[in-house]
A and B are shown apart, each in its own frame.
Chain A
Amino acid sequence: GQNIDQPTEMTATEGAIVQINCTYQTSGFNGLFWYQQHAGEAPTFLSYNVLDGLEEKGRFSSFLSRSKGYSYLLLKELQMKDSASYLCAVRDSNYQLIWGAGTKLIIKP
């Protein structure tokens, strides 16, 4: 079967750095996505990785290792507004998205 694993919940301190991991086992691979979802709101796109390596976008970076079936989202200089759920999704060989259950990130002052 297809599976996306990510931690259920993480806690970090304002101003710090946090890394949210995502491991996947899917039928084929055509890209990995990270979305942010604030409570009660819609998911919004953060990043897309299809090749191995690090993609940096401001305070957020996303890393991919296809051989290890592994990705992480790195958030730097954490702000209170970063408190949200972070969803990892993989596009499989049929170009369908398989979604993880999401990681709820709690930022403490």
Chain B
Amino acid sequence: NAGVTQTPKFRVLKTGQSMTLLCAQDMNHEYMYWYRQDPGMGLRLIHYSVGEGTTAKGEVPDGYNVSRLKKQNFLLGLESAAPSQTSVYFCASKSGRGDTGELFFGEGSRLTVL
């Protein structure tokens, strides 16, 4: 059981380049999230989705776009990368069906923007 899988694990970009992070979950979860984690700060929500075909903005959405075309996949795009987007990105999912709300996280994607 793979759980939540993120690709790529590491990426170095130059300012202005674009890229897409892919998150895939095999638990048939409805809810999916993209967070960023920076030193000395709590996880911050970028965008989230409550089901296939839906997306919503989180706390820090600027500079990012997302898509949820298939239930199992949640893509995070950076159209024009900036050094401020250097971070570790975590994807998470949860079932959302009367449970405690436990999140299942991917292993993280470490992005450096030069």
Query: Of A33, A42, A95, which one neighbours B108 at CB under 8 angstroms?
Result: A42
How far, in Å, is B109 (CB) from chain A's closest CB? 11
**What is the CA–CA distance of A53 and B106 in the complex, to the nearest angstrom?**
31
0/1 per residue, B22-62, Cβ < 8 Å to A? 00000000000000000011111100000000000010000
Shortest distance in angstroms between B22's beta carbon and chain A's nearest beta carbon?
Answer: 16
Report the count of interface residues on B (CB-CB < 8 A): 18
The segment from B12-20, B63-71, B78-86, B95-103 found at the interface with A is B95-103
CA distance A69 to B43 in the complex (A): 20
Main secondary structure on B side of the interface with A:
loop
Instruction: Knowing A31-B101, A33-B101, A48-B100 are in contact, say whether A43-B42 is a contact too (CB < 8 A).
Output: no
Q: Beyond A31-B100, A101-B41, is A43–B107 a contact (Cβ under 8 Å)?
A: no
A42 touches B101 (CB 8 A): no
Cβ of A36 to closest chain B Cβ, rounded Å = 11
* Pair A102/B42 contact, Cβ less than 8 Å: yes
- Interface check B105, CB cutoff 8 A: yes
Q: Closest chain A residue to B42 by CB distance? A: A99
* Contact, CB under 8 Å: B102 / A87: no
A101, B40: Cβ atoms closer than 8 Å:
yes
Residues of B contacting A89 in the complex (Cβ-Cβ under 8 angstroms) = 42-43
Which residues of A pack against B, CB within 8 Å? 4, 8, 31, 33, 35, 40-45, 48, 87, 89, 91, 95-102
Known: A40-B108, A43-B43, A97-B45. 7 other contacts (CB 8 A): A31-B101, A41-B108, A89-B42, A98-B42, A100-B42, A101-B40, A101-B41
